[in-house]
Amino acid sequence: MSLLGDERPRRPLALPEALLAPSDLARCLTAMLWALDWSGGADDLLAALPHAKPEIDLTDLRNTLAVLGYPTRLERLRRGRLDPRLLPAILLPPGQPAAVVYANEQGQVLRLDGASGQAAPCAAEGLRGTLLLPVPLAEAAPRQNWFATLVRRFHGDLPALLGISGLMALLGLAVPAFTMAVFDTVIAGHSLATLPMLVLGVAAAVLMELSFRGIRQRALLRMGERLDRLVSNAVFTQLMSLPTALVERAGTASQVSRLRDFATIREFLTGSFAVAVLDLPFTLLVMLLMLALGGWIALVPLGTVLGFTLLFLVSRPALRRAIAGAARATQAREALAVEALEAVRTLKLAGAEERWIERYAAAAATA
Domains of the chain as residue ranges with CATH: 3-134 (3.90.70.10), 146-366 (1.20.1560.10)
In degrees, rounded to 5, the angle at the alpha carbon of residue 231 between the alpha carbons of residues 137 and 312 is: 105
Element (H or E) spanning 103, and its range? strand 99-103
pLDDT at position 52 is 63
Number of other residues whose CB lies within 10 A of the CB of residue 62: 23
How high is the pLDDT of residue 141? 41
CA 144-259-217 angle, 5° bins: 90
Q: In this predicted model, what pLDDT tens digit does every residue of 139-187 receive, in sequence order? A: 434 445 556 666 666 777 778 888 888 888 888 888 888 888 888 887 8
Query: What H or E segment, with its residue span, contains residue 134?
Result: strand 129-134
Q: How far apart are CA 90 and CA 92, in angstroms?
A: 7
Report the pLDDT value the prediction gives residue 252, as an integer from 0 to 100: 60
The answer, yes or no, to whether the previous bond of 88 is cis (omega within 30 of 0) is yes
DSSP result, 311-337: HHHHHHHHHHHHHHHHHHHHHHHHHHH
**pTM of structure:** 0.52
pLDDT for position 1: 41
On whether the CB atoms of residues 62 and 132 are closer than 8 A, the answer is yes
In which residue ranges of the chain is pLDDT below 50? Answer: 1-9, 139-143
Residues 181-225 have pLDDT tens digits of: 888 887 877 778 888 888 898 899 899 989 998 888 888 887 777
pLDDT of 260 reads 64
What local confidence, expressed as pLDDT, does residue 207 receive?
A: 92
Q: What is the pLDDT of residue 256?
A: 64
Cα dihedral value 207, 211, 212, 217, nearest 10:
140
Q: In the chain, what is the greatest distance between 2 CA atoms, to the nearest angstrom?
A: 88
